[in-house]
Amino acid sequence: MPKLKVLSGNDLVKIFQMFDFSVTSPKGSHIKISRIKDGEKQVLVFPNHNEIDTDTLKAIYRQALRYISESEIKKCFYHD
């Protein structure tokens, strides 16, 4: 089973920017990113921490799967 990477909030911003998301609200301790694809506004919110907790990172990954295919995003979150 692949191992989850250790990622920060800034790492996540860089990952999601590769999928055309942009930061819409870096408010307080959380970052809100969004994109419009096929007429639908897609929004994700995650903490801006130096190291995001494993369970939180798994939840962000699951939420991202609503918008991005697993084959595209898995390599960004998991080691081979």
Confidence of residue 80 (pLDDT cuts 50, 70, 90): confident
Strand order in the sheet with 30-37: 22-25, 30-37, 40-47
pLDDT at 12: 97
Is residue 1 within 8 Å of residue 44, measured between CB atoms?
A: no
Distance CA 38, CA 61 (A): 21
The pLDDT tens digits of the residues spanning 13-35 come to: 999 999 999 999 877 899 999 99
What is the residue extent of each domain of the chain? 9-71
Span 38-68, pLDDT tens digits: 999 999 999 999 999 999 999 999 999 999 9
